[in-house]
Amino acid sequence: MAQLYFYYSAMNAGKSTSLLQSSYNYRERGMNTFVLTAAIDDRAGVGKVASRIGIETDAYAFDSNDNLSEIINKRHSREHQHCILIDEAQFLSKQQVKQLTYVVDCLDIPVLCYGIKTDFQGELFPGSHYLLAWSDKLIELKTICHCGRKANMILRLDSEGKPVREGEQVEIGGNDTYESVCRKHFRPYFWD
C-alpha cells in the first residue's frame, strides 16, 4: 500500500541528495519515478533538483497554482509511475498536499516529499504544516549546528553574516543567506 512520506530537516541535511538517491534506486530496478520541485527555487536552474555534492536531475517545476494530482495522473496514464518525489516540499500549498494524499490513496503511488520544516523565524511553512499533519511517515534528516548539537532551526543572515529577525517568509538562498543552528543558538534572536 502506498504512503505519503515527509522527510524534513533544517538546511544542509542532505534532503536533495536523499531524494536523488531514492529516485536512482527505483530507476536502477527498472521503475519509473517522477521528480517535481518548486519553481520558486531556481538556484540550480528551473526544473532541476541538485545536491551540494554535485549530482542533479531534471524535474517538473510546479508553482502554487498547479493541480498536482492532475499532473501526476496524466503522466501516470502515459507511463506507469512507481514513485513520486518532491523537492522543496515546504512550498506546497494546503490544496497541493491534499492532492498528494489523493495520489497515494486513489492512484496507489508512494509520494516522498523533502523539505524544510520551519522558516528563519521558527514558524512552519504551509506545505510543511500539512505534510506534518497528513503524512503517513515522518522522517527527520539531521544536520549539525556549529557547536556540534543537532541543528533544527534556521537563521537568515544579512549581507554581513548577521542574523535578521524580520522579512518575508520566503527568500531563496543558500549558505550565504541561511545557517542551520540548534535551538540554543536560535533562541537569542527570537525567544530571549
Catalytic residues: 88
> How far apart (Å, rounded) are the C-alpha atoms in residues 92 and 187?
27
> How far apart (Å, rounded) are the C-alpha atoms in residues 30 and 132?
31
> How far apart (Å, rounded) are the C-alpha atoms in residues 162 and 167?
14
> How far apart (Å, rounded) are the C-alpha atoms in residues 155 and 62?
26
> How far apart (Å, rounded) are the C-alpha atoms in residues 16 and 167?
26
φ/ψ of residue 74, rounded to 5? -60, -45
Place of cell 523565524: 121
